[in-house]
Amino acid sequence: MSRKKTPKSKAGSAPASSLPTAKENGPVGSGGGGSNPGPGPAPETPRNGLLLSGRPSLSSSGDFYDVAFKVMLVGDSGVGKTCLLVRFKDGAFLAGTFISTVGIDFRIWDTAGQERFRSVTHAYYRDAHALLLLYDVTNRASFDNIQAWLTEIHEYAQKDVVLMLLGNKVDSTQERVVKREDGEKLAKEYGVPFMETSAKTGLNVDLAFKAIAKELKHRSMKLPSEPKFKLHDYVKREVRGSGCCRP
Ligand SMILES: Nc1nc2c(ncn2[C@@H]2O[C@H](COP(=O)(O)OP(=O)(O)OP(=O)(O)O)[C@@H](O)[C@H]2O)c(=O)[nH]1
Ligand SMILES: [Mg+2]
């Protein structure tokens, strides 16, 4: 597998993973059984996330689950999608050399979205239940490209896809060029929940996935007796700040 460092502002990749909601914050299933699904159409996942009615499935991690959702991470190359996923899944940080995702990662559906791989990513949007859209707070171009990503999402993803905007790498305070307020403003404009994250320190990483999982679970269960889950409110309540002075 040939891997190389790519410039920060190049269009990026889209790791995808399944969220087993039986264990909302648990390990991420591969969805592809750990094997490389190849560059063909993305594997189908039912819209309501139900895989086998009345029968639990076994994920590649060995956990049983009866509902699984397809979640994709999208955004420019180098914003930290793979690192965010690894942080959530393994609790580790991939420091050092930037190994850009090329094609599809064998561990999970880690599809690359550098311009030349974009058509592969488009196939994956189709049955995604949720999208985490990332930019890098130290890279202005990655923030400016968010609107283009949203246009692409509206074109290829399902209308009811759960969407969240994440400003990653907030641990890099010296290099920060995108203010938290800028992210908040953009998110408000598009009506999507927003939080800042760090794959390096783990700030808000579990929360981002947990919030998405809660929203998807509530949507799929549709229990009229339960109060409606409000993703925006949940995020606002639970989110942690990166600096010293804001909660
Ligand atoms: N300081 C800091 N560096 C990060 C963070 N997340 C990722 N990085 C670094 O940013 C670089 C790119 O991270 P990746 O996760 O590979 O980026 P990507 O979005 O998957 O890139 P593509 O696969 O090319 O689309 C790596 O050198 C990481 O170590 C973070 O939260 N903080
Ligand atoms: Mg990657």
Q: Is the ipTM of this complex over 0.95?
A: yes
42 lines ligand 1 (CB under 6 A): no
Q: Are strands 104-105 and 109-111 parallel, antiparallel or unpaired?
A: antiparallel
Q: Which ligand is nearest to the CA of 108?
A: 2
What is the Cα–Cα distance from 125 to 22, expressed in whole angstroms? 24
Q: Which of 2, 9, 83, 105 to mutate to test the pocket of ligand 1 (most atoms within 8 A of CB)?
A: 83
For the chain, give every domain's residue range: 71-242
200 lines ligand 1 (CB under 6 A): yes
Q: Which ligand is nearest to the CA of 84?
A: 1
Handedness of CA 61, 67, 70, 71 (dihedral sign): negative
Q: Are strands 162-168 and 130-136 parallel, antiparallel or unpaired?
A: parallel
pLDDT of residue 144: 97
Burial of 113 (0-12, 13-18, 19+ CB in 10 A): buried
Centre of ligand 2 to C-alpha 78, Å, is: 7
Yes or no: say if 202 and 91 are a contact pair by the CB < 8 Å rule.
yes
pLDDT in 10s for each residue of the chain, 247 residues:
333 344 444 445 556 555 654 333 333 333 333 333 334 444 555 565 544 344 444 455 555 556 677 888 999 999 999 999 888 887 778 777 677 765 433 236 555 557 767 677 777 788 888 899 999 999 999 999 999 999 999 999 999 999 999 999 999 999 999 999 999 999 999 999 999 999 999 999 999 989 988 888 888 776 666 677 889 899 988 888 776 444 4
Q: Are strands 68-75 and 130-136 parallel, antiparallel or unpaired?
A: parallel
Kindly provide the residue ranges of all beta strands, DSSP E only, lying in the chain, ordered along the sequence. Answer: 14-20, 57-58, 64-65, 68-75, 104-105, 109-111, 130-136, 162-168, 194-196
CA 229 to chain CA centroid, Å, is: 20
201 lines ligand 1 (CB under 6 A): no
80 lines ligand 1 (CB under 6 A): yes
83 lines ligand 1 (CB under 6 A): yes
pLDDT of residue 193: 96
79 lines ligand 1 (CB under 6 A): yes
Q: Which of 1, 98, 132, 136 to mutate to test the pocket of ligand 1 (most atoms within 8 A of CB)?
A: 98
Burial of 8 (0-12, 13-18, 19+ CB in 10 A): middle
Which amino acid, one-letter code, is at 182?
D
pLDDT of residue 128: 86
Centre of ligand 2 to C-alpha 114, Å, is: 10
pLDDT of residue 7: 41
Centre of ligand 1 to C-alpha 138, Å, is: 11
Handedness of CA 77, 158, 85, 108 (dihedral sign): negative
Tokens of 153: 């999402």
pLDDT of residue 191: 94
Centre of ligand 1 to C-alpha 75, Å, is: 11
- Count of C-beta atoms within a 10 Å radius of residue 15: 29
pLDDT of residue 178: 98
Yes or no: say if 207 and 195 are a contact pair by the CB < 8 Å rule.
yes
Kindly calculate the radius of gyration of the chain based on its CA atoms and give it in whole angstroms: 17
What is the Cα–Cα distance from 187 to 117, expressed in whole angstroms? 27
Nearest protein Cα to ligand 1, atom 7: 80
Tokens of 170: 């907030």
Which residue is listed with tokens 């509902």?
Answer: 67
